[in-house]
Structure 1
Amino acid sequence: MRKHPRSKTPSHTPLSARPLTEFCAQCRARLSCIVPAALRRLPEREQDEFHRHITVHRYRAGVSIVRQGDIRTTLPLVCRGMVVSSLLTEGGEEITLHTGGTGTFIGVMDWLLERPTFSCSAQALVETTLAYVRPAALLKAVTMEPGLLATLLKQFGSQMHSIEHQFAAGQSRDAGGRILRCLLDLARNLGVTDQRGVSLPAEVTRTRLAQLTGLARETVSRSVRKLARAGLILHDGRRIVIPCVKRAEQALRRDRHH
């Protein structure tokens, strides 16, 4: 597995958990996430206790968050940004599994199956903020307020659906379609709308796209140029922009039916 170089500056920054309610209020997943739901619906005393069992950290882009085999003591939750999960095979090959944006739990299957360690690694694709939730506190909250169970199950279900969608997309033989689908997924999670369209972070490079799609970098470069000629994306050498998301989605649907 690739080693991330050690830096003299901290790779992640602990953030105070005290303003967590304010932090959650600005989150795009606040209506479907178990953490703000628990902070809203639990009695005040239990809210404070639940709050104390959550710590928040911010990670720089490219930094390893957890490594395969690390002891699992918490359930990390993506609050902002995006993570890339990967698996190291017995042959020493690192395989990208999927990406996860806001509302994604890291190692959720390990928790459900009571594995003591993380079965895959996770790295910050862009600057990413995580809330580390103690599983015991989460279970206690669900026990005290059974209505929270539906929120938790929906959150898990949405995450599994996203993984299935990414897996199915990875089986396509159409390189351009795989890349366009990946770009649309990234745009939904990380895109910023400006006068040109929806801009993706500078960290979404051709090398990164090759990693996320499982394609060779040369194939990605050819496909990016082809998508640009078709007017589906813009690439100024630094950032990729999708001028019209609706048009890109329509092109993707047409390709699927051909």
Structure 2
Amino acid sequence: MSTTTRDKVANFFADFPLRKISKNHVLVQAGDQLPGVIFLISGQVQQYDITDNGEKVVVNIFKPPAFFPMSWAINKTPNQYFYEAASDIQCRIAPPDKTVAFIQNNPDVLFDLLSRVYSGTDGLLRRMAHLMGSSARSRILYELQVQAKRLGQPQADGSILLKATESDIAKQTGLARETISRELAKLRHLVTVNHGGITIKDINLLQDEI
């Protein structure tokens, strides 16, 4: 998103009250009526589903300056997901009709939204391919690559830090946490795991392993 477009989006949502929400708070539950379009100013929000056996499966992670869920706002699609603050967040919530009108009247915002939708769709298709036909190792490597590009924090030594745990990766890949732990132990030449998160030593080497 360009600076001009980002400022335009921020100015639109600035008309609505600022909300501060604590980590782990569920903003919306599956099946509930959404309060409006959520504009994320700081922090991260997880979008997830709960499987029949009670497992949490994360399908998306939003970061600033995302605004969501637009499928519901545009198409009136019933909400089937949970939205939970993955960290302390700040956000603003706008009515869906006003948000859609704003997008329709601003082609640059519409183009940016469309660009992000296509990028996200490509990522989901690749993830599906890995989930359906790849080994646990390949699924983990692919998820680490995706999260590094979207949410990773570059370090001074060239490594990338993910503020994630083995449980987080399990929820994003649909694998058991024990499987994640076992496979990451085999990838010590590529990643290290500690209380601070998961560090990818060299993203290029990791990509070569996929």
TM-score range normalised by the length of the shorter chain = 0.7 to 0.9
- In 2, the alpha carbon distance for the partners of 1:166 and 1:62 equals 25
Q: Which residue of 2 aligns with 1:223?
A: 183
Instruction: Give the count of matched residue pairs.
Output: 208
Q: Is the 8 A contact 2:22 2:88 kept in 1?
A: yes
TM-score in terms of structure 2 length = 0.80
Q: Which residue of 1 aligns with 2:24?
A: 62
- In 2, the alpha carbon distance for the partners of 1:163 and 1:246 equals 21
Deviation string 1:91-132 (CA, Å, 9 cap, x unpaired) is 4645515122335443322223214x5221122333444342
Inter-CA distance 199–97: structure 2 relative to 1 (3 Å threshold): closer
- In 2, the alpha carbon distance for the partners of 1:165 and 1:58 equals 34
Structure 1 residue 67, shift from structure 2 partner:
0.9
Structure 1's unaligned 5+ residue stretches are: 1-29, 40-46, 253-258
Q: Is the 8 A contact 2:13 2:39 kept in 1?
A: no
Aligned residue type for 1:175:
A
Structure 2's unaligned 5+ residue stretches are: none
RMSD: 2.9
2:193 to 227, 235, 239: 235
**SS in structure 1 at match of 2:68:** coil
Inter-CA distance 96–32: structure 2 relative to 1 (3 Å threshold): farther
**Bigger radius of gyration, 1 or 2?**
1
In percent, how many aligned pairs have the same letter?
Answer: 20
Q: Is the 8 A contact 2:140 2:173 kept in 1?
A: yes
Q: Which residue of 2 aligns with 1:167?
A: 128
Inter-CA distance 148–224: structure 2 relative to 1 (3 Å threshold): closer
1:153 to 114, 118, 138: 114
Q: Is the 8 A contact 1:76 1:133 kept in 2?
A: yes
TM-score in terms of structure 1 length = 0.67
Q: Which residue of 1 aligns with 2:48?
A: 86
